[in-house]
Amino acid sequence: MNLGLFIRPCGHNIASWRHPNAAADAGVNFQHFVEMAQTAERGLFDMLFSADTLSSWTTAESAIDKVHYVAWMEPYTLLSALSAYTKNIGLVCTASTSFEQPYTVARRFATLDLITGGRSGWNVVTSGNETEALNFGQEDHLPKVQRYRRAREFVEVVRALWDSWDEDAFPRNKATGVFSDRSKMHVLNHHGEFYHVRGPLNVARSPQGQPVIVQAGASDDGRQLAAETAEVVFTAHHVIDTAREFYADVKGRMDKAGRDRSHLKILPGLSVTVAPTKEEADKKFKTLQELLHPELGVALLSRRIGFDLTGYPLDEPLPDLPENSVVSSRSEMIKGWAEGGRPTLRQLYTKFAAARGHFSLVGTPAQVVDAMEEWFTTGACDGFNVLPQYYPDGLTDFVDLVVPELQRRGLFRTAYEGPTLRDVLGLPKPESRYA
Ligand SMILES: Cc1cc2nc3c(=O)[nH]c(=O)nc-3n(C[C@H](O)[C@H](O)[C@H](O)COP(=O)(O)O)c2cc1C
Protein backbone atom coordinates (compact mmCIF):
# COMPACT_ATOMS: atom_id res chain seq x y z
CA MET A 1 0.00 0.00 0.00
CA ASN A 2 0.99 3.63 -0.38
CA LEU A 3 1.44 5.79 2.71
CA GLY A 4 1.49 9.56 2.98
CA LEU A 5 2.33 11.51 6.11
CA PHE A 6 0.11 14.55 6.59
CA ILE A 7 2.29 17.00 8.51
CA ARG A 8 1.04 19.65 10.90
CA PRO A 9 3.28 21.36 13.49
CA CYS A 10 2.23 19.67 16.74
CA GLY A 11 -0.11 17.02 15.35
CA HIS A 12 -3.59 16.54 13.97
CA ASN A 13 -5.42 16.46 17.23
CA ILE A 14 -6.47 20.03 17.89
CA ALA A 15 -5.22 19.61 21.48
CA SER A 16 -1.89 18.09 20.42
CA TRP A 17 0.20 21.11 21.38
CA ARG A 18 -0.89 20.78 25.02
CA HIS A 19 0.40 17.20 25.34
CA PRO A 20 3.33 16.94 27.78
CA ASN A 21 5.57 15.35 25.10
CA ALA A 22 4.65 17.81 22.33
CA ALA A 23 6.96 20.68 21.38
CA ALA A 24 4.51 23.59 21.57
CA ASP A 25 6.83 25.76 19.44
CA ALA A 26 7.02 23.13 16.66
CA GLY A 27 5.55 25.50 14.07
CA VAL A 28 8.56 27.82 14.23
CA ASN A 29 11.16 25.11 14.79
CA PHE A 30 12.68 23.90 11.53
CA GLN A 31 14.68 21.16 13.27
CA HIS A 32 11.38 19.66 14.41
CA PHE A 33 10.26 19.28 10.78
CA VAL A 34 13.63 17.78 9.82
CA GLU A 35 13.17 15.09 12.49
CA MET A 36 9.61 14.49 11.32
CA ALA A 37 10.70 14.06 7.69
CA GLN A 38 13.59 11.80 8.58
CA THR A 39 11.41 9.60 10.81
CA ALA A 40 8.87 9.30 8.00
CA GLU A 41 11.66 8.34 5.62
CA ARG A 42 12.93 5.74 8.10
CA GLY A 43 9.38 4.36 7.99
CA LEU A 44 9.54 4.28 4.16
CA PHE A 45 6.55 6.58 3.73
CA ASP A 46 5.83 7.43 0.07
CA MET A 47 5.49 11.12 0.77
CA LEU A 48 5.20 13.95 3.19
CA PHE A 49 2.25 16.29 2.63
CA SER A 50 1.82 19.81 3.88
CA ALA A 51 -1.66 21.28 3.54
CA ASP A 52 -2.06 25.03 3.25
CA THR A 53 -4.58 27.82 3.43
CA LEU A 54 -3.95 31.43 2.50
CA SER A 55 -5.32 32.74 5.73
CA SER A 56 -4.85 32.23 9.43
CA TRP A 57 -8.56 32.00 10.10
CA THR A 58 -9.09 28.31 9.66
CA THR A 59 -11.41 28.19 12.62
CA ALA A 60 -14.00 30.45 14.22
CA GLU A 61 -12.71 33.75 15.54
CA SER A 62 -13.96 32.95 19.04
CA ALA A 63 -11.33 30.23 19.45
CA ILE A 64 -8.47 31.43 17.28
CA ASP A 65 -6.31 32.02 20.37
CA LYS A 66 -6.38 28.28 21.16
CA VAL A 67 -5.26 26.86 17.80
CA HIS A 68 -1.61 25.91 17.32
CA TYR A 69 -1.44 26.14 13.52
CA VAL A 70 -2.68 29.73 13.03
CA ALA A 71 0.90 30.80 12.38
CA TRP A 72 3.60 28.40 11.21
CA MET A 73 5.52 28.04 7.95
CA GLU A 74 4.80 28.47 4.27
CA PRO A 75 4.92 24.91 2.93
CA TYR A 76 6.71 25.38 -0.36
CA THR A 77 9.69 27.04 1.33
CA LEU A 78 9.57 24.45 4.12
CA LEU A 79 9.61 21.49 1.71
CA SER A 80 12.42 23.02 -0.34
CA ALA A 81 14.52 23.18 2.81
CA LEU A 82 13.51 19.66 3.90
CA SER A 83 14.61 18.29 0.55
CA ALA A 84 18.22 18.80 1.62
CA TYR A 85 17.69 16.57 4.66
CA THR A 86 15.93 13.68 2.88
CA LYS A 87 16.77 11.34 0.00
CA ASN A 88 13.74 9.32 -1.03
CA ILE A 89 10.53 10.60 0.46
CA GLY A 90 8.16 12.54 -1.82
CA LEU A 91 7.47 16.18 -0.90
CA VAL A 92 3.95 17.36 -1.64
CA CYS A 93 2.23 20.63 -0.79
CA THR A 94 -0.82 22.66 -1.61
CA ALA A 95 -1.21 25.53 -4.05
CA SER A 96 -4.54 27.23 -4.68
CA THR A 97 -6.15 27.53 -8.11
CA SER A 98 -8.35 30.36 -6.87
CA PHE A 99 -5.64 32.77 -5.73
CA GLU A 100 -2.47 31.86 -7.61
CA GLN A 101 -1.42 31.95 -11.26
CA PRO A 102 -0.63 28.82 -13.30
CA TYR A 103 2.74 30.13 -14.48
CA THR A 104 4.12 30.68 -10.97
CA VAL A 105 2.71 27.40 -9.65
CA ALA A 106 4.16 25.43 -12.60
CA ARG A 107 7.51 27.09 -12.00
CA ARG A 108 7.66 26.41 -8.28
CA PHE A 109 6.82 22.72 -8.50
CA ALA A 110 9.09 22.17 -11.50
CA THR A 111 11.89 23.76 -9.48
CA LEU A 112 11.16 21.63 -6.42
CA ASP A 113 11.29 18.62 -8.71
CA LEU A 114 14.76 19.63 -9.94
CA ILE A 115 16.01 20.31 -6.41
CA THR A 116 14.76 16.93 -5.16
CA GLY A 117 15.68 14.82 -8.19
CA GLY A 118 12.02 14.10 -8.95
CA ARG A 119 10.21 13.96 -5.62
CA SER A 120 7.68 16.79 -5.83
CA GLY A 121 3.88 16.79 -5.94
CA TRP A 122 1.25 19.52 -6.09
CA ASN A 123 -1.99 19.28 -4.11
CA VAL A 124 -4.46 21.17 -6.29
CA VAL A 125 -7.04 22.98 -4.15
CA THR A 126 -9.84 25.33 -5.10
CA SER A 127 -9.70 26.82 -1.55
CA GLY A 128 -12.77 26.33 0.58
CA ASN A 129 -12.07 28.81 3.34
CA GLU A 130 -14.11 31.97 2.87
CA THR A 131 -11.55 34.08 4.77
CA GLU A 132 -8.86 33.52 2.15
CA ALA A 133 -10.58 35.77 -0.40
CA LEU A 134 -10.25 38.69 2.03
CA ASN A 135 -6.46 38.48 1.77
CA PHE A 136 -6.58 38.83 -2.01
CA GLY A 137 -8.65 41.95 -2.51
CA GLN A 138 -11.90 40.01 -2.88
CA GLU A 139 -15.03 40.21 -0.79
CA ASP A 140 -16.12 36.66 -1.48
CA HIS A 141 -15.08 33.37 -2.95
CA LEU A 142 -16.21 32.49 -6.44
CA PRO A 143 -19.16 30.07 -6.44
CA LYS A 144 -17.98 26.48 -6.21
CA VAL A 145 -18.90 25.45 -9.76
CA GLN A 146 -16.85 28.32 -11.11
CA ARG A 147 -13.96 27.54 -8.78
CA TYR A 148 -13.79 24.05 -10.25
CA ARG A 149 -14.06 25.35 -13.84
CA ARG A 150 -11.12 27.60 -13.13
CA ALA A 151 -9.24 24.71 -11.46
CA ARG A 152 -9.69 22.54 -14.54
CA GLU A 153 -8.20 25.16 -16.84
CA PHE A 154 -5.47 25.95 -14.27
CA VAL A 155 -4.33 22.29 -14.14
CA GLU A 156 -4.41 22.04 -17.92
CA VAL A 157 -2.18 25.12 -18.26
CA VAL A 158 0.27 23.99 -15.57
CA ARG A 159 0.66 20.57 -17.18
CA ALA A 160 1.13 22.09 -20.61
CA LEU A 161 3.79 24.46 -19.20
CA TRP A 162 5.60 21.47 -17.69
CA ASP A 163 5.95 20.17 -21.26
CA SER A 164 7.59 23.41 -22.43
CA TRP A 165 10.99 21.78 -22.90
CA ASP A 166 11.79 18.30 -24.14
CA GLU A 167 14.03 16.25 -21.92
CA ASP A 168 16.96 16.66 -24.34
CA ALA A 169 16.33 20.34 -25.12
CA PHE A 170 19.66 21.56 -23.75
CA PRO A 171 22.73 20.46 -25.74
CA ARG A 172 24.78 23.20 -23.95
CA ASN A 173 27.36 22.93 -26.70
CA LYS A 174 30.35 25.05 -25.68
CA ALA A 175 32.05 24.62 -29.07
CA THR A 176 29.11 25.85 -31.19
CA GLY A 177 27.72 28.28 -28.64
CA VAL A 178 24.25 26.74 -28.87
CA PHE A 179 22.79 26.25 -25.41
CA SER A 180 19.26 25.08 -26.18
CA ASP A 181 17.63 23.36 -29.16
CA ARG A 182 14.81 25.64 -30.41
CA SER A 183 12.95 22.72 -31.97
CA LYS A 184 12.62 21.21 -28.48
CA MET A 185 11.13 24.33 -26.92
CA HIS A 186 7.32 24.60 -27.06
CA VAL A 187 5.46 27.89 -26.79
CA LEU A 188 2.02 27.30 -25.34
CA ASN A 189 -0.02 30.34 -26.47
CA HIS A 190 -2.95 29.40 -24.24
CA HIS A 191 -6.08 31.56 -24.45
CA GLY A 192 -8.88 30.22 -22.27
CA GLU A 193 -11.84 31.35 -20.20
CA PHE A 194 -9.72 32.37 -17.20
CA TYR A 195 -6.10 32.40 -18.31
CA HIS A 196 -3.92 33.74 -21.08
CA VAL A 197 -0.46 32.25 -20.90
CA ARG A 198 2.13 32.42 -23.64
CA GLY A 199 4.91 30.28 -22.20
CA PRO A 200 7.31 28.58 -22.43
CA LEU A 201 8.11 27.89 -18.78
CA ASN A 202 11.53 29.13 -17.73
CA VAL A 203 12.34 25.89 -15.88
CA ALA A 204 13.60 22.73 -17.62
CA ARG A 205 11.56 19.51 -17.78
CA SER A 206 11.01 17.75 -14.47
CA PRO A 207 13.17 14.70 -13.67
CA GLN A 208 9.97 12.63 -13.31
CA GLY A 209 8.40 14.03 -16.49
CA GLN A 210 5.95 16.09 -14.47
CA PRO A 211 5.46 16.56 -10.73
CA VAL A 212 2.69 14.34 -9.30
CA ILE A 213 -0.82 15.84 -9.28
CA VAL A 214 -2.66 15.41 -5.98
CA GLN A 215 -6.24 16.43 -5.15
CA ALA A 216 -8.58 16.26 -2.18
CA GLY A 217 -12.03 17.35 -3.32
CA ALA A 218 -14.94 15.04 -2.62
CA SER A 219 -17.93 16.81 -4.19
CA ASP A 220 -19.23 15.80 -7.61
CA ASP A 221 -17.05 18.40 -9.34
CA GLY A 222 -14.07 17.45 -7.18
CA ARG A 223 -14.42 13.75 -7.98
CA GLN A 224 -14.74 14.42 -11.68
CA LEU A 225 -11.67 16.64 -11.83
CA ALA A 226 -9.73 14.02 -9.84
CA ALA A 227 -10.83 11.19 -12.12
CA GLU A 228 -9.65 13.16 -15.15
CA THR A 229 -6.43 14.66 -13.84
CA ALA A 230 -5.27 13.47 -10.39
CA GLU A 231 -2.66 10.84 -9.61
CA VAL A 232 -3.18 10.81 -5.85
CA VAL A 233 -6.42 11.65 -4.05
CA PHE A 234 -6.62 12.41 -0.34
CA THR A 235 -10.03 11.92 1.15
CA ALA A 236 -11.78 11.73 4.53
CA HIS A 237 -13.95 8.75 5.46
CA HIS A 238 -14.94 7.76 8.91
CA VAL A 239 -16.26 4.33 7.91
CA ILE A 240 -15.40 1.74 5.29
CA ASP A 241 -18.75 1.90 3.45
CA THR A 242 -18.43 5.51 2.34
CA ALA A 243 -14.74 4.94 1.51
CA ARG A 244 -15.72 2.04 -0.78
CA GLU A 245 -18.47 4.09 -2.40
CA PHE A 246 -16.02 6.93 -3.03
CA TYR A 247 -13.33 4.57 -4.35
CA ALA A 248 -15.70 2.80 -6.75
CA ASP A 249 -17.15 6.10 -7.92
CA VAL A 250 -13.81 7.81 -8.67
CA LYS A 251 -12.29 4.72 -10.31
CA GLY A 252 -15.49 4.29 -12.35
CA ARG A 253 -15.22 7.89 -13.54
CA MET A 254 -11.62 7.10 -14.57
CA ASP A 255 -12.90 4.27 -16.78
CA LYS A 256 -15.24 6.72 -18.48
CA ALA A 257 -12.40 9.21 -18.92
CA GLY A 258 -10.30 6.47 -20.54
CA ARG A 259 -7.69 6.36 -17.78
CA ASP A 260 -6.03 3.29 -16.28
CA ARG A 261 -7.33 2.77 -12.72
CA SER A 262 -3.85 2.09 -11.37
CA HIS A 263 -2.73 5.58 -12.38
CA LEU A 264 -4.58 7.16 -9.45
CA LYS A 265 -3.94 6.25 -5.79
CA ILE A 266 -6.78 6.94 -3.40
CA LEU A 267 -5.57 7.57 0.14
CA PRO A 268 -8.12 8.21 2.91
CA GLY A 269 -6.83 9.96 6.01
CA LEU A 270 -6.01 7.65 8.92
CA SER A 271 -5.52 8.63 12.51
CA VAL A 272 -3.75 5.96 14.56
CA THR A 273 -3.16 5.67 18.28
CA VAL A 274 -1.14 2.51 18.75
CA ALA A 275 0.54 0.81 21.71
CA PRO A 276 1.66 -2.73 22.59
CA THR A 277 -1.63 -3.31 24.49
CA LYS A 278 -5.16 -2.03 23.83
CA GLU A 279 -5.34 -0.60 27.36
CA GLU A 280 -2.25 1.53 26.76
CA ALA A 281 -3.57 2.74 23.42
CA ASP A 282 -6.94 3.70 24.96
CA LYS A 283 -5.16 5.57 27.73
CA LYS A 284 -3.03 7.52 25.25
CA PHE A 285 -6.11 8.47 23.26
CA LYS A 286 -8.04 9.54 26.34
CA THR A 287 -5.16 11.69 27.65
CA LEU A 288 -5.29 13.76 24.51
CA GLN A 289 -9.08 13.97 24.39
CA GLU A 290 -9.11 15.43 27.88
CA LEU A 291 -6.85 18.28 26.75
CA LEU A 292 -9.40 19.50 24.22
CA HIS A 293 -10.69 22.97 25.14
CA PRO A 294 -14.53 23.06 24.87
CA GLU A 295 -14.55 26.47 23.18
CA LEU A 296 -12.22 25.14 20.53
CA GLY A 297 -14.19 21.93 20.06
CA VAL A 298 -17.39 23.92 19.51
CA ALA A 299 -15.70 26.42 17.19
CA LEU A 300 -14.16 23.70 15.04
CA LEU A 301 -17.46 21.92 14.66
CA SER A 302 -19.31 25.18 13.98
CA ARG A 303 -16.98 26.10 11.16
CA ARG A 304 -17.32 22.70 9.54
CA ILE A 305 -21.09 22.73 9.51
CA GLY A 306 -21.39 26.44 8.74
CA PHE A 307 -23.56 27.14 11.79
CA ASP A 308 -22.39 28.79 15.02
CA LEU A 309 -23.01 26.46 17.95
CA THR A 310 -21.45 28.81 20.54
CA GLY A 311 -23.60 29.06 23.66
CA TYR A 312 -25.57 25.86 23.08
CA PRO A 313 -25.56 23.44 26.06
CA LEU A 314 -22.60 21.07 25.83
CA ASP A 315 -24.34 18.07 27.32
CA GLU A 316 -27.48 18.11 25.21
CA PRO A 317 -28.06 17.03 21.60
CA LEU A 318 -27.57 19.59 18.84
CA PRO A 319 -30.40 21.89 17.77
CA ASP A 320 -31.98 21.20 14.38
CA LEU A 321 -29.60 22.62 11.81
CA PRO A 322 -30.86 24.90 9.06
CA GLU A 323 -30.90 23.26 5.63
CA ASN A 324 -28.37 25.53 3.97
CA SER A 325 -25.79 25.03 6.74
CA VAL A 326 -24.30 22.06 4.89
CA VAL A 327 -21.34 23.41 2.96
CA SER A 328 -19.22 20.41 1.99
CA SER A 329 -18.90 16.66 1.94
CA ARG A 330 -17.52 16.62 5.47
CA SER A 331 -20.25 18.77 6.92
CA GLU A 332 -22.76 16.27 5.54
CA MET A 333 -20.94 13.55 7.45
CA ILE A 334 -21.16 15.52 10.71
CA LYS A 335 -24.81 16.18 10.11
CA GLY A 336 -25.26 12.43 9.68
CA TRP A 337 -23.55 11.78 13.03
CA ALA A 338 -25.73 14.40 14.73
CA GLU A 339 -28.91 12.80 13.43
CA GLY A 340 -27.96 9.18 14.13
CA GLY A 341 -28.04 8.42 17.89
CA ARG A 342 -28.49 12.09 18.91
CA PRO A 343 -25.06 12.58 20.55
CA THR A 344 -24.52 15.61 22.79
CA LEU A 345 -22.63 18.62 21.51
CA ARG A 346 -19.62 17.64 23.65
CA GLN A 347 -19.63 14.05 22.33
CA LEU A 348 -19.90 15.30 18.77
CA TYR A 349 -17.08 17.85 18.92
CA THR A 350 -14.85 15.36 20.76
CA LYS A 351 -15.45 12.79 18.03
CA PHE A 352 -14.81 15.31 15.26
CA ALA A 353 -11.80 17.01 16.85
CA ALA A 354 -9.81 13.80 17.25
CA ALA A 355 -9.38 13.18 13.53
CA ARG A 356 -11.63 15.78 11.85
CA GLY A 357 -13.77 13.08 10.32
CA HIS A 358 -10.98 10.83 9.10
CA PHE A 359 -10.79 7.09 9.81
CA SER A 360 -9.56 6.65 13.36
CA LEU A 361 -8.01 3.56 14.98
CA VAL A 362 -6.96 2.98 18.58
CA GLY A 363 -5.36 -0.36 19.38
CA THR A 364 -2.45 -2.78 19.15
CA PRO A 365 -0.31 -3.05 16.00
CA ALA A 366 -2.19 -6.20 14.97
CA GLN A 367 -5.61 -4.58 15.51
CA VAL A 368 -4.58 -1.46 13.58
CA VAL A 369 -3.16 -3.45 10.68
CA ASP A 370 -6.21 -5.77 10.58
CA ALA A 371 -8.39 -2.75 9.87
CA MET A 372 -5.94 -1.20 7.39
CA GLU A 373 -5.72 -4.53 5.57
CA GLU A 374 -9.49 -4.81 5.36
CA TRP A 375 -9.79 -1.34 3.80
CA PHE A 376 -6.91 -2.01 1.43
CA THR A 377 -8.00 -5.44 0.23
CA THR A 378 -11.73 -4.80 -0.12
CA GLY A 379 -11.84 -1.81 -2.45
CA ALA A 380 -11.81 1.09 0.00
CA CYS A 381 -8.35 2.50 -0.75
CA ASP A 382 -4.87 2.12 -2.25
CA GLY A 383 -3.22 3.13 1.00
CA PHE A 384 -3.56 5.85 3.62
CA ASN A 385 -2.64 9.42 4.42
CA VAL A 386 -1.50 9.12 8.03
CA LEU A 387 -2.45 11.88 10.49
CA PRO A 388 -0.48 11.47 13.72
CA GLN A 389 -2.45 12.71 16.70
CA TYR A 390 0.63 14.43 18.11
CA TYR A 391 4.36 14.59 17.43
CA PRO A 392 6.74 13.02 17.94
CA ASP A 393 5.10 9.94 19.50
CA GLY A 394 2.22 9.59 17.02
CA LEU A 395 4.70 9.20 14.18
CA THR A 396 7.44 7.19 15.93
CA ASP A 397 4.81 4.75 17.26
CA PHE A 398 3.48 4.29 13.73
CA VAL A 399 6.95 3.75 12.26
CA ASP A 400 8.12 1.42 15.03
CA LEU A 401 4.94 -0.58 15.63
CA VAL A 402 2.64 -0.40 12.59
CA VAL A 403 5.12 -0.40 9.69
CA PRO A 404 6.88 -3.66 10.77
CA GLU A 405 3.48 -5.39 11.08
CA LEU A 406 2.47 -4.16 7.60
CA GLN A 407 5.78 -5.45 6.23
CA ARG A 408 5.44 -8.80 8.00
CA ARG A 409 2.11 -9.29 6.20
CA GLY A 410 3.61 -8.27 2.85
CA LEU A 411 1.41 -5.17 2.64
CA PHE A 412 4.17 -2.57 2.57
CA ARG A 413 7.60 -2.05 0.98
CA THR A 414 10.86 -2.94 2.75
CA ALA A 415 12.92 -0.54 0.60
CA TYR A 416 12.21 2.43 -1.67
CA GLU A 417 11.48 1.37 -5.26
CA GLY A 418 13.41 4.17 -6.96
CA PRO A 419 14.56 7.77 -6.75
CA THR A 420 11.39 9.57 -7.90
CA LEU A 421 7.99 9.96 -6.28
CA ARG A 422 6.46 8.31 -9.34
CA ASP A 423 8.72 5.26 -8.84
CA VAL A 424 7.64 5.02 -5.21
CA LEU A 425 3.93 5.48 -5.89
CA GLY A 426 4.02 3.12 -8.87
CA LEU A 427 2.92 5.81 -11.34
CA PRO A 428 4.01 6.07 -14.97
CA LYS A 429 6.22 8.90 -16.20
CA PRO A 430 4.04 11.10 -18.43
CA GLU A 431 5.08 11.58 -22.02
CA SER A 432 5.30 15.13 -23.31
CA ARG A 433 2.25 16.17 -25.35
CA TYR A 434 4.73 17.20 -28.06
CA ALA A 435 6.45 13.79 -28.23
C1 LIG B 1 -6.52 15.27 3.37
C2 LIG B 1 -7.07 16.55 2.86
C3 LIG B 1 -6.22 17.63 2.68
C4 LIG B 1 -6.69 18.85 2.23
N5 LIG B 1 -5.82 19.89 2.11
C6 LIG B 1 -6.27 21.11 1.79
C7 LIG B 1 -5.40 22.23 1.73
O8 LIG B 1 -4.20 22.11 1.95
N9 LIG B 1 -5.93 23.44 1.44
C10 LIG B 1 -7.26 23.63 1.16
O11 LIG B 1 -7.67 24.75 0.91
N12 LIG B 1 -8.10 22.56 1.17
C13 LIG B 1 -7.65 21.33 1.50
N14 LIG B 1 -8.51 20.27 1.54
C15 LIG B 1 -9.92 20.48 1.13
C16 LIG B 1 -10.17 19.97 -0.28
O17 LIG B 1 -9.17 20.37 -1.19
C18 LIG B 1 -11.52 20.47 -0.81
O19 LIG B 1 -11.45 21.85 -1.05
C20 LIG B 1 -12.61 20.26 0.16
O21 LIG B 1 -12.71 18.87 0.39
C22 LIG B 1 -13.94 20.84 -0.37
O23 LIG B 1 -14.17 20.47 -1.69
P24 LIG B 1 -15.28 19.40 -2.05
O25 LIG B 1 -16.56 20.03 -1.64
O26 LIG B 1 -15.10 19.13 -3.52
O27 LIG B 1 -15.03 18.19 -1.20
C28 LIG B 1 -8.06 19.02 1.95
C29 LIG B 1 -8.91 17.93 2.11
C30 LIG B 1 -8.44 16.71 2.55
C31 LIG B 1 -9.38 15.56 2.70
Give per-residue pLDDT as tens, 71-119. 999 999 999 999 999 999 999 999 999 999 999 999 999 999 999 999 9
**What was the pLDDT predicted at 227?**
98
Give the number of other CB atoms < 10 A from CB of residue 110: 26
pLDDT band at 407 (very low <50, low <70, confident <90, very high): very high
Q: What is the pTM of this model?
A: 0.94
By CB neighbour count within 10 A (0-12 exposed, 13-18 middle, 19+ buried), where does 431 fall?
exposed
* Residue 335 clears pLDDT 80, i.e. is over it: no
Q: Ligand 1 centroid to 217 CA: how many Å?
A: 5
Q: Ligand 1 centroid to 341 CA: how many Å?
A: 28
* Residue 62 clears pLDDT 60, i.e. is over it: yes
Mean pLDDT of the chain: 93
**What was the pLDDT predicted at 318?**
83
Q: Ligand 1 centroid to 75 CA: how many Å?
A: 15
Q: Ligand 1 centroid to 328 CA: how many Å?
A: 10
d(CA 214, CA 421): 12
**What was the pLDDT predicted at 63?**
84
The CATH homologous superfamily for domain 2-167+198-277+357-425 is Luciferase-like domain (3.20.20.30)
Peptide bond between residue 392 and the one before it cis (omega within 30 degrees of 0) = yes
Whether 127 is in the pocket of ligand 1, judged by its Cβ within 6 Å, is: yes
Long-range CB contacts for residues 333-341, cutoff 8 Å, separation at least 24: 333/236, 333/238, 333/242, 333/357, 334/301, 334/304, 334/305, 335/305
**What was the pLDDT predicted at 324?**
59
Whether 329 is in the pocket of ligand 1, judged by its Cβ within 6 Å, is: yes
Q: Which of 68-72, 217-221, 315-319, 407-411 has the highest mean pLDDT?
A: 407-411
The residue with greater pLDDT, 337 or 263, is 263
Whether 98 is in the pocket of ligand 1, judged by its Cβ within 6 Å, is: no
d(CA 194, CA 148): 12
Whether 326 is in the pocket of ligand 1, judged by its Cβ within 6 Å, is: no
List the beta bridge partners of residue 276: none
d(CA 251, CA 255): 7
Whether 148 is in the pocket of ligand 1, judged by its Cβ within 6 Å, is: no
Residues 185-235 pLDDT 10s? 999 999 999 999 999 999 999 999 999 999 999 999 999 999 999 999 999
Q: Ligand 1 centroid to 94 CA: how many Å?
A: 9
**What was the pLDDT predicted at 140?**
79
Pick from 123, 265, 327 the residue to mutate for probing ligand 1's pocket: most ligand atoms within 8 Å of its CB. 123
* Residue 322 clears pLDDT 80, i.e. is over it: no
List the beta bridge partners of residue 317: 344
**What was the pLDDT predicted at 331?**
77
Pick from 94, 129, 233 the residue to mutate for probing ligand 1's pocket: most ligand atoms within 8 Å of its CB. 94
pLDDT band at 374 (very low <50, low <70, confident <90, very high): very high
* Residue 66 clears pLDDT 80, i.e. is over it: yes
* Residue 59 clears pLDDT 90, i.e. is over it: no
* Residue 404 clears pLDDT 70, i.e. is over it: yes
pLDDT band at 129 (very low <50, low <70, confident <90, very high): confident
Residue ranges per structural domain of the chain: 2-167+198-277+357-425
d(CA 206, CA 117): 8
Helices 240-256 and 365-377 cross at an angle (nearest 10°) of 30
**What was the pLDDT predicted at 319?**
80
Whether 53 is in the pocket of ligand 1, judged by its Cβ within 6 Å, is: yes
Assign 309 to helix, strand or coil: coil
Residues 272-310 pLDDT 10s? 999 999 999 999 999 999 999 999 999 888 888 888 888
Residues 143-188 pLDDT 10s? 888 899 999 999 999 999 999 999 999 999 999 999 999 999 999 9
